[in-house]
Structure 1
Amino acid sequence: MKFFYLSSNPNDEEAYVIHERECGDMPGIYERDYLGPYNSGQEALRKASSLKHNVKLCEKCCKPQEYSVVSNIKDI
């Protein structure tokens, strides 16, 4: 589980940005609101969308995880 924060002020694109706790781009303590613990940025986005309009995930810390599935199954 990760902890997420929402910027209190919109960015240059008029969007409020969601950050993970460890993000280097997260606004200062007085410029952010705590969203809570979530399993993914998408869960935090759903919560933030109920609080503010024009909300987006930080491109640096909330990128979707990419998974590779490799199969080693051989025909018998």
Structure 2
Amino acid sequence: MTRLDVRDIPPVKRHPTIHEEFEDLAPGETLTIVNDHEPKPLFYEFQAEVESFDADNYEVERVGSEEFVAKFPKVEA
């Protein structure tokens, strides 16, 4: 599992960084993202653009007022 805390990354660079990390995953692995808001726009972006994104097994949990943990799984080969 790869964990990426994007809260300290400038907003304009967050999505490209997340996409790069996701691409580096092996099939069946999961990218866990820690964010300061629920990443719904990112989920929809992945659902529409990333074939290897397993949208059915996506999970998000609100941990605190400014901490959301989202799991972006990559489909198994």
Do Structure 1 and Structure 2 share a fold, with TM-score over 0.5? no
Larger Cα-atom Rg: 1
Q: Give TM class, smaller chain.
A: 0.3 to 0.5
Q: TM-score, normalised by structure 1?
A: 0.33
TM-score, with structure 2 as normaliser: 0.33
Structure with a larger share of its residues in helix? 2
